[in-house]
Each structure stands twice: as structure tokens, then as C-alpha cells.
Amino acid sequence: MRIISGIYKGRILKSLSGKKDIRPTTDRARETLFNILSNRIEFEGKRCMDLFCGTGSFGLEFLSRGGSECTFVDFDVKVIKENASLLNLNGDFNIVRNDTLKYLTSETKDIFDIAFADPPYRYREYDNLLHRISKFKLLFILEHDKSFIIPNVFKEKVFLHKKIGISEFSFFNFNLTI
């Protein structure tokens, strides 16, 4: 796994290993995702959340491309800490060890522009995640498996759905200004 573009382009990231419920996002899928985003938004000055961050590849790619700040959230933050250290990141990130749903409900009052979420394989709380993240008024990119059906209440917020290899991404606009 590597950073695709920006100031950290080509840098190799540490990967998660030995876990059955993860599905690492391929470099190709992440590259396509960020190409789509870069045609729609400017990363400079934007703040993001990388939820269920694992290695932190989405947030690190975001920072590499000029994003101003990223908050990484996961139960296991060992690998994101190692990757942040490998890249010599300084004050432009926060790492939060917590359950994503709890974090979205109680911990943060920060304002974000973009959020990425790559929940574990066979995640069961998609509806709950969408309800909680929609309160943030941001652009939300959700990676999910093919069995996920977008709840009717959120269908009008989806502006793009993209299948890239085995990965599927749904793009939600919870912010009317984007």
C-alpha cells in the first residue's frame, strides 16, 4: 500500500495483518476515488475524518494532496500511529482511539468538510452510521460491500455510486454548499 499523489507520493504505508474482518482498499480503488474527488473539490484548507481508519490510507492520501487536517478514528490505532510516524506528520492530524459511532455521537463538536468511512467487512450498523454522520453537514464517502442497500431516507443525498474492483463507494452530500 502506498500514497498515490501529493507531497507523500510513492511512500509505502504499513498494512494491517492477521485480521479476518478487514478488506484493505486497493491502491487502484483509492486512486480512482481521489480522482473523482479532485474533479469536484479543492483539498486545500479542508478538514476530514477517516473513520474506521485502520492504516489511515484515506486520511493520509487526503493530507498528501493538500488537506489541512485529518482526524483518524478507530479502536486499534497502532498502524495509523506507525504510518503517521513514517511520514513525519506534525500538527495536522489527530488520532482518536474509540468506537466510530460513539465518537460521532459524543466526542466531537469539530467542523469537518469531508469524511471517509471504511467499516469492517459485513458491518451491520450502516443505518446508524449514516444517521450520525449526516448531522455533520459534509461530503461523506462510504466504502461498503455489494449487499448494502442505501436507506430510502438517504437515497436523495447520494450523488454518485462507484464500483471499483471489489470495492463499492457511495458518495453522500450532506452539505448543500458543495
pLDDT at 132: 94
The single-letter DSSP state of residue 9 is T
| pLDDT digit string, tens, across residues 72-87 | 999 999 999 999 999 9
Decide: residue 99, CB within 10 A, 0-12 exposed, 13-18 middle, 19+ buried.
Answer: middle
| pLDDT digit string, tens, across residues 23-82 | 667 788 889 999 999 999 999 999 999 999 999 999 999 999 999 999 999 999 999 999
Give me the chain's average pLDDT, please.
89
Q: Are 16 and 71 in contact (CB under 8 A)?
A: no
pLDDT at 26: 78
| pLDDT digit string, tens, across residues 115-154 | 999 998 788 899 999 999 999 989 999 999 888 899 999 9
Distances (CA, A) of 5 to 11, 101, 155: 9, 30, 31
The single-letter DSSP state of residue 136 is G
Q: What homologous superfamily is domain 27-173 in, according to CATH? A: Vaccinia Virus protein VP39 (3.40.50.150)
Q: Is 82 left (phi over 0), alpha (psi -120 to 50) or beta?
A: alpha
Whole-prediction pTM: 0.91
